Amino acid sequence: MQAIVNISLKDAVLDPQGRAISHSLTDLGFNEVTDVRVGKQILLEIDENDPARLRQRVARMCETLLSNTVIEDYSIVIPDEE
């Protein structure tokens, strides 16, 4: 099954990259942009057919390696989970 991990900086953490992108968008005339935050997405193919177990394992991966919970939040999406 596939799992998608979305990682974003916590609100309290300054995102200078997002701010630079926001300035560029404004310069390009996209004046409606009020804030930009840059995150990352990790796509995992995992040999596991049970969505609940998959979610549990991926959460462990996020806590252990994929995210640094001091500065980042993560969310897990399992597309095949109905």
Partner 1 sequence: MTLSALRVAIIVFPGSNCDRDMMVAIEQLTSRRPALVWHKEASLDAADLVIIPGGFSFGDYLRCGALAGRSPIMNAVLDHAARGGAVMGICNGFQILTETGMVPGVLIRNAGLKFACRNVGLQVCETLASPFTSGLVTSKRLIIPIAHNEGNYFAEPDELNQLEGNGQIAFRYTDSKAIGPANPNGAAHDIAGVISQNGRVLGMMPHPERAMSDLHGSTDGAYLLLKSLEALAS
Is 17 one of the binding residues for partner 1 (CB under 8 A)?
A: yes
Question: Is there binding between residue 43 and partner 1 (CB under 8 A)?
Answer: no
Closest CB 82 distance from partner 1, rounded Å: 31
For residue 70, count CB atoms less than 10 angstroms from its CB and return exposed for 0-12, middle for 13-18, buried for 19 or more. exposed
Any contact of residue 12 with partner 1 (CB under 8 A)?
A: yes
Shortest Cβ 26–partner 1 spacing (Å): 17
Tell me if 3 sits within 8 A of 44, measured CB to CB.
yes
Residue from 44, 35, 53 nearest 4 by CA: 44
Residues that bind partner 1 (CB under 8 A): 12-14, 16-17, 20, 64-66, 68, 70-71
